[in-house]
Structure 1
């Protein structure tokens, strides 16, 4: 008989971020990025985190959701903004290493979808690595599918150009969309 290994389930809940949460999100992003070291993309993990000013801007619009533990400490976040006037674009999803694989990312996506569905957005978009199991395949399980970024509008094209300038391999990147 095989031994049963108990899986640790840590408690968390999702809420809209407060300005006081923003200084804590860089640590979440760094912790989440550890996975990139496992696939020879360590330069991404060691690069800059999201700007606090960018996060503050998204937070002021109500476009920054966070997962917090029982002590109300952020363990994950999702943020985004409007792109090409009709899409809500996810700029970042990060889940701290100790909370990965526990449904935090899925709950962040669900909370964001519930919120933006009531607004004027046609669909939700994101850019990601298509070959990494925790990127493209994971987003596909959340209802996203790949689409040509140039088809969506010039702001998406600018996002892809900016990612290329920051060292992302555009042969491995894709734009994904989920209609609302």
Structure 2
């Protein structure tokens, strides 16, 4: 589990986000969103980052982990929401300048360690089915698709909230990774 001493991974350390990280997290999210223009999803590419208040609330709740590289640059983050039997991974973003270093995989590993420490059995997320750095990426990390018929009430509510925000759920998929 990340702490101020931080875990190390290929000259990258992981720790819970601090208030000083809020603007950087928003900038990373914005930069990551720009990639969606390359797959014709300009609505995402043009979207503003999360509201500062949301980021600050998640930081205060210790629900964002950041990846800090050897040059002290915040290279990525994962934002998550603990639930009764699992952790919902809300967002995972890594700077394009740091892509290909397995930082995203390591951030998911940090969330899995938190889940294990809390005796939670699963990681769950929702993502775009056909975007290469979305569902295909998560499948390589051990996530598998959840059939729509198998969505529980909490995931159905989340899907409904996505629809209310204007997301096209026909292009999205819920996924899970069972933890040992």
- Does structure 1 residue 51 correspond to structure 2 residue 12? no
1:13 paired residue number: 13
2:81 paired residue number: 81
Task: Give structure 1 regions of 4+ aligned residues with deviation exceeding 4 angstroms.
Answer: none
1:145 paired residue number: 144
> Structure 1 unaligned runs (5+)?
1-9
Following TM superposition, by how much is the alpha carbon of 1:149 offset from its aligned partner in structure 2, in angstroms? 5.1
Aligned residue pairs, count: 170
Instruction: Label 1:150 to 1:91 Cα distance change in 2 as closer, same or farther (>3 A).
Output: farther
Instruction: Label 1:111 to 1:166 Cα distance change in 2 as closer, same or farther (>3 A).
Output: same
Report if the CA contact (8 A) 1:24-1:74 is conserved.
yes
Partner SS state of residue 127, structure 1: strand
| TM-score, length basis structure 1 | 0.85
1:173 paired residue number: 172
1:35 paired residue number: 35
- Does structure 1 residue 109 correspond to structure 2 residue 108? yes
Following TM superposition, by how much is the alpha carbon of 1:125 offset from its aligned partner in structure 2, in angstroms? 0.3
Partner SS state of residue 33, structure 1: helix
| TM-score, length basis structure 2 | 0.85
Following TM superposition, by how much is the alpha carbon of 1:76 offset from its aligned partner in structure 2, in angstroms? 0.4
Report if the CA contact (8 A) 2:34-2:44 is conserved.
no
For 1:53 and 1:120, locate their aligned partners in 2 and report how far apart those are by CA, in whole Å. 30
Partner SS state of residue 167, structure 2: coil
Residues 112-157 of structure 1, C-alpha deviations (whole Å, 9 max, x = no match): 1112211032211000011111111110111100003563432211
Partner SS state of residue 20, structure 1: helix
1:119 paired residue number: 118
Instruction: Label 1:97 to 1:57 Cα distance change in 2 as closer, same or farther (>3 A).
Output: same
Instruction: Label 1:175 to 1:86 Cα distance change in 2 as closer, same or farther (>3 A).
Output: same
1:63 paired residue number: 63
2:134 paired residue number: 135
Report if the CA contact (8 A) 2:78-2:92 is conserved.
yes
Alpha-carbon RMSD: 1.9
Report if the CA contact (8 A) 1:149-1:156 is conserved.
no
